Amino acid sequence: MNKNKTTAQNKKIAVLPGDGIGPEIVREAIKVLNVVEKVFGHKFDIETYPVGGCAYDLCGESLPKETLSACRSADAVLLGAVGGPKWDGLPGEKRPERALLGLRSELWLFANLRPAKIWPSLLDSSPLKKEIISDGIDILVVRELTGGIYFGAHSRSLDKKIARDEMAYSEFEVERIAKVAFECARSRNKKVTSVDKANVLESSRLWREVVERVSKEYPEVELNHMYVDNAAMQLVRNPGLFDVLLTENMFGDILSDEASQITGSIGMLPSASLRHDGFGMYEPIHGSAPDISGKNIANPLATILSVAMMLRSTFLLSDEANAIEEAVSNVLLAGLRTADLTSPDAAPIGTSQMGDAVAKAILKMVK
Ligand code: IPM
Ligand code: MG
């Protein structure tokens, strides 16, 4: 590992731990970030801000103005998770999840990258049969994040008996996310599967037309289209089919959970939500898991791997990102497992022990 190649950087990171297991997993990610800072000689200015249910409890808003402006003036954002049963009764606009949607739209984070790969040492954790995953799984879900049904008009009839959620897409929105998918595919296995429901939805027919047009600019990338129901089936039947999976907002939400589970555990999957200039918010794809919060059993690796994505995508520090990923690979190879990854007879380690192990593995690599 070359720890002297990149020049020292001074970066401001807004950290939003959120609810449930959020604070526990974020603590471990910061532990790892601090080690990277020391080993590579950078300066990360890390400030923590409330978001989600805990922010609502503090000030009556799940996305306080101070939190949003801190994110705006930071170089990147690291988020844990939001939500929990305590806030389920709140009206739509006050719900913790709304904070997440607010962050995505206010920060213009239209491109959500969710890599789902199977770590060789976790092959046994996949619920799929060995022969189905023998060639490995390495999928990148590229999900449109600020449009579609999540951000269309939501309404109820006067008598409250009819509800509507509008799914709308503009050419512009489809084009910019399609370009991200093709760019990503270019540096991977050069294959884009665009997911839609063009046999039923008008927005999907527009989606397909625009993706088809964008693909002409990337002749080296193979494009195929797949209906979302078929994509959901193929993911468990033959996940090796996929390289980059390009989706609208809700299809990507659903398919990325499925893609994560076939790799062994949703506790392993990081994500990046990016703006056109490379600014990004990084978070594990899993939720706040209130049932296991405060028990030191959650898997912090998805958040730690989200930090690696931050270093690589927003700060362009690829040696540092590689070091984290290699450290994660080493601890898994050494047999360390949190409860979500263990077989019933193996003893799991805790959240903080996993964070310690990754931090130690990075230090060991530079010795
Ligand atoms: C995700 C989550 C969010 C989403 C929720 C919490 C609003 O499921 O990031 O995948 O639906 O986008
Ligand atoms: Mg989701």
pLDDT reported for residue 135: 84
Q: Report the distance separating Cα 98 and Cα 198, nearest Å.
A: 29
283 beta partners: 271
> What's 347's DSSP letter?
P
For residue 285, the CA-to-ligand 2 centroid distance in Å is 6
Pocket of ligand 1 (CB under 6 A): 97, 100, 253, 285
User: Which of 57, 165, 229, 291 is labelled catalytic?
Assistant: 229
Atom nearest to 249 CA in ligand 1: 12
pLDDT of the residue at 346: 73
351 closest CA partner among 292, 308, 307, 283: 292
**Going residue by residue through the chain (367 aa), what tens digit of pLDDT does each one get?**
555 456 788 999 999 999 999 999 999 999 999 999 999 999 999 999 999 999 999 999 999 999 999 999 999 999 999 999 999 999 988 999 999 999 999 999 999 999 999 998 898 889 999 999 988 899 999 999 999 999 999 999 999 999 999 999 999 999 999 999 999 999 999 999 999 999 999 999 999 999 999 999 999 999 999 999 999 999 999 999 999 999 999 999 999 999 999 998 899 999 999 999 999 999 999 999 999 999 999 999 999 999 999 999 999 999 999 999 999 999 999 999 999 987 666 789 999 999 999 999 999 998 7
Report residue 241 CA to chain centroid gap. 21
pTM reported for the whole predicted model? 0.94
Give the residue, by CA position, lying nearest to ligand 1 atom 12: 253
pLDDT at 209: 98
What is the reported pLDDT for 334?
94
Catalytic residue among 19, 56, 197, 282: 197
For a ligand 1 pocket test, name from 248, 249, 253 the mutation site with the most ligand atoms within 8 angstroms of its C-beta. 253
pLDDT at 5: 54
Domains of the chain: 8-110+279-367 (3.40.718.10), 127-262 (3.40.718.10)
User: Which is the closest atom of ligand 1 to the Cα of 82?
Assistant: 6
Per-residue CA distances from 108 to 72, 84, 100, 111, 248 (Å): 10, 26, 12, 9, 16
CA proximity to 211, closest of 237, 230, 188, 185: 185
Q: For ligand 1, what atom is nearest to the CA of residue 145?
A: 12
Question: What's the pLDDT at 8?
Answer: 81
What's the Cα-to-Cα distance from 312 to each of 176, 309, 326, rounded to whole Å? 21, 5, 14
